[in-house]
Structure 1
């Protein structure tokens, strides 16, 4: 077979590989696009479900209270129950002891006194979570005050009313109210107004437990006034979307559309401003004159999806690089068919090596934006939390033990410091909300922590809760995954459980403290100024894990419930620059020195450079000891499964002995291909082969 025929077959083979690679590239690109679209649709579907759940819970909880109040107003109006009977019913109805209800009251229509002022008398029953405390007051009546708006609007409109949020001086907290008129049936006039007051945090807690506060607002259908939004100033200042001067703003466009298109199920609306696109999800409440909507940018929707299967992405990068390599080879083969020179071969070797190195660096860089931690068990809303609580409630009923007592818990990490590769010191605060008068249940302990210091720093007692704050410092031995070292993707976790192990206490995430936990990337619970040298924060979430300490104390398994420990996880990734400088550059320098050593292998003598097998053997031995020492030092610092960086060392264990072997074979002059042009083939293939192997390893390890 002639040389021309061989070359033609080689070219045909490379062209076939190039076409196959292009097909693979197109296929993976289409699959990635489809996956992105499917993930986006799944994210939108989930957010629609969260919005529908939020709307349903607001409708059920607030609507039920409103219906109850309407019933009592009717019974009082018709005289079917008296005030003492109403108070008795109120005390016996556990529904009114809901944590969101501040109290229930009835205010008489103001009467003119002898001093010329109007007074109105009010009976009020304050909710203490386990019982009502009766109060009475008589105040001067003022017409145009925010505090009396609920009363005045009911008198004016002569029908039940929902108020906006306001500060009640007597209760000393922000509330919103539902009021219903009580009539004198005989004279057909209003004689009193019945009211139920809700803590303004009640809406906050329902929203944060489901869809999250970050994106969500509730407005009045009448005038677009904010009932709820994450910016509380808008609520307290009674900002109305109908009065916004900039009609092109997203808020104004949203109000204009939903005001004309009421929707009793979740509907969507695509809008855009000058900079980015927005997706608006909205739904009208059935029992309340409100509309709830959530506003997402495209970037925010993307952040709500954390796909951890990266194999298709790495396959796509592989096809990109291989297609480019084959194209470069074809172009240079064409050049060599016109004029074959050593310079062309060196250019081809350098270009192939450069493309592969760029591919490796791109894999490192893009790995910083991919997800490698499974967060499928993250507790991001109340629905997921309820699925856990349901299991433990069933166990408590089966074993005839006391009911599960849920303790909303928030954790803030103020500082984090790595003591070594596996031990980390954390400090921060824990905020908890305990039932009233339950001091025996107070207390927090850290699972798997040592040298822990925890101090109670504050207690705030309200009519319904005891808010307890702790400050802590603890050392935790973490089981970090170093398989991607030095481009790590790990998590710092802190597991907490009750000190009192003999009560069925279950710590739960306090959604309202964090304004919702649906966005893991938001890094809720991590101080904004927290810096961990060599690492960056990628997100945070809560989950449950087995509480080994509780299992030890639960001797009687027939009456004990294995409640879990609440675990706060901080997702972290290694900073790119630090990883490259401290870990990757040293082996790269060694590879460069090995290549320079190989360049000394030559037939031509030189006064400055003299080829001797003994010299190359000595240099290679020195390099080998350096590599072994560096590798052992790394292993002493980190004990893990084979790390990514170790493949660099394992490859060098093969490359270093091959250099003196190549020099020896060259010196024997028995192998023409080795001796051709002073060991040209080995020199040309040195960087391309090493780069190709590292590229394949990188794709495999980061997939």
Structure 2
């Protein structure tokens, strides 16, 4: 057996798998394409509303959003701070001499209770002809569901979902495009250019509508008013910076794989090598046991980070480490057994001082990682926004429902009653 030749073949196959994995990583990192449903100008908003709300005259309220900070509290909560402004008729705002008395014109239905949450605070007002712009500062933690299956090569679309505080079917929030320099496709606007995003890179921002229907009339709507109603979203598209996740999770796995292979290389019956390496079956199993707990703790840390989410890409690599550790331990045990020539497996393992398991270690490990990477990263998502599904109850269309804080609805109704 030409061992040198077989080592060349093994290394070439392993290198090919490494190149394939790296290529798929690069592809997944740059696979985002802009959402084609985003609104970039007023004519697009008018066309959209005329299609979905053609049966009634709409009372439009221009609304703008400016994000000052954004932070992921955990895998399902995002903390936002910034400003939201709205433009009203001067006849409506003139009656409020004290700006603190002006009702907040929007509701954040996905806000959850947290120490950082607070009611929006009046920030500024400015008269523009027969219109007046009212701005509020807000800080809110929003509960949102994200898709992490491609972690750490994922993109996230986080959003600020806006309701009008006036619970009337014809009240519609529309983007205030005049409040930004440019809202063209693939442009990023409405955020502080000095915003600190940590592990994330901001790709683009945009407005869009999502049609929502609910299985309740909230006590005030007629049956014909329960059709899908467009809700305004301000979206922020983020791309995860790969380097941090690579150093924290992937690099340690690569080092552990090298340590497992080094342990496999120490399994020998050559007296000279055995005495110098000082490794026997119990030593190999001891090393594998230590590495097993290191890998296990790392996986537990990832699972805690994505509690409640499906298995992410990086987690699929951990079973490969477990199988490698188990395989090396079993190989060490079988190699210690005497070969009487009757067992083909023992003959295969003992031949040329355990060279066969060494030759197939990297091709088998990297080949499996290549298959896992292809299955996890290559499939295209069924839509540009997997983390925000439509919501409809009843009829023929049933999709994933988002949580709605009903208490917000009653707060709106209570405010409306007091004002009346």
Q: 1:633 — aligned with what?
A: 301
- Give the Å deviation of 1:385: 2.1
Among 641, 663, 683, the alignment partner of 2:332 is 663
Q: Alignment partner of 2:119: what SS?
A: strand
Q: Alignment partner of 1:589: what SS?
A: helix
Q: 2:194 — aligned with what?
A: 529
Among 367, 391, 396, the alignment partner of 2:28 is 367
Q: Deviations over 1:14-67 (max 9, x none)?
A: xxxxxxxxxxxxxxxxxxxxxxxxxxxxxxxxxxxxxxxxxxxxxxxxxxxxxx
Native 8 Å contact 2:213 2:229 kept in 1: no
Alpha-carbon distance in 2 for matches of 1:344, 1:464: 85
Q: Does 1:426 align with 2:91?
A: no
Among 587, 590, 602, the alignment partner of 2:268 is 602
Q: 2:397 — aligned with what?
A: none
Q: 1:358 — aligned with what?
A: 19
Alpha-carbon distance in 2 for matches of 1:465, 1:503: 23
Relative contact order (alpha carbons < 8 A, sep ≥ 6): 1 or 2 greater?
Answer: 2
Q: Alignment partner of 2:270: what SS?
A: coil
Structure 2 unaligned segments of length 5 or more: list them: 94-101, 379-420
Q: Deviations over 1:87-142 (max 9, x none)?
A: xxxxxxxxxxxxxxxxxxxxxxxxxxxxxxxxxxxxxxxxxxxxxxxxxxxxxxxx
- Give the Å deviation of 1:358: 3.1
Q: Deviations over 1:272-323 (max 9, x none)?
A: xxxxxxxxxxxxxxxxxxxxxxxxxxxxxxxxxxxxxxxxxxxxxxxxxxxx
Native 8 Å contact 1:497 1:547 kept in 2: no
Q: Alignment partner of 2:275: what SS?
A: coil
Alpha-carbon distance in 1 for matches of 2:41, 2:216: 27
Q: 1:650 — aligned with what?
A: 319
- Give the Å deviation of 1:494: 0.9
TM superposition score normalised by structure 1: 0.48
Structure label with greater radius of gyration = 1
Q: Alignment partner of 2:277: what SS?
A: coil
Native 8 Å contact 1:485 1:644 kept in 2: yes
Native 8 Å contact 1:554 1:560 kept in 2: no
Among 106, 124, 128, the alignment partner of 1:458 is 124
- Give the Å deviation of 1:365: 2.6
- Give the Å deviation of 1:383: 4.6
Q: Deviations over 1:176-226 (max 9, x none)?
A: xxxxxxxxxxxxxxxxxxxxxxxxxxxxxxxxxxxxxxxxxxxxxxxxxxx
Q: 1:574 — aligned with what?
A: 240
Q: 2:413 — aligned with what?
A: none
- Give the Å deviation of 1:555: 3.0
Native 8 Å contact 2:17 2:366 kept in 1: yes
Native 8 Å contact 1:648 1:694 kept in 2: yes
Alpha-carbon distance in 1 for matches of 2:215, 2:170: 11
Q: Deviations over 1:433-476 (max 9, x none)?
A: 22332238751221211324311211112223111122111111
RMSD: 2.5
- Give the Å deviation of 1:376: 3.6
Q: Deviations over 1:207-266 (max 9, x none)?
A: xxxxxxxxxxxxxxxxxxxxxxxxxxxxxxxxxxxxxxxxxxxxxxxxxxxxxxxxxxxx
Evaluate the alpha carbon distance shift between residue 358 and residue 554 of structure 1 in structure 2; reply closer, same or farther with a 3 A threshold: farther
Among 203, 217, 220, the alignment partner of 1:555 is 220
- Give the Å deviation of 1:638: 0.6
Native 8 Å contact 2:284 2:329 kept in 1: yes
Native 8 Å contact 1:360 1:698 kept in 2: yes
Correspondence 1:275-354 to 2 at 5 A:
341-354=2-15
Among 427, 431, 436, the alignment partner of 2:90 is 436
Alpha-carbon distance in 2 for matches of 1:420, 1:356: 34
Q: Does 1:544 align with 2:213?
A: no
Q: 1:612 — aligned with what?
A: 280
Q: Alignment partner of 1:681: what SS?
A: helix
Among 34, 42, 45, the alignment partner of 1:385 is 45
Evaluate the alpha carbon distance shift between residue 581 and residue 489 of structure 1 in structure 2; reply closer, same or farther with a 3 A threshold: same
Alpha-carbon distance in 2 for matches of 1:522, 1:371: 14
Q: 1:499 — aligned with what?
A: 165
Correspondence 1:16-55 to 2 at 5 A:
none
Q: 1:105 — aligned with what?
A: none
Q: Alignment partner of 1:485: what SS?
A: coil
Alpha-carbon distance in 2 for matches of 1:360, 1:448: 38
Q: Which has the higher strand share?
A: 1
Alpha-carbon distance in 1 for matches of 2:58, 2:126: 23
Alpha-carbon distance in 1 for matches of 2:16, 2:171: 59
Alpha-carbon distance in 2 for matches of 1:453, 1:358: 52
Alpha-carbon distance in 2 for matches of 1:554, 1:384: 33
Native 8 Å contact 1:501 1:553 kept in 2: no
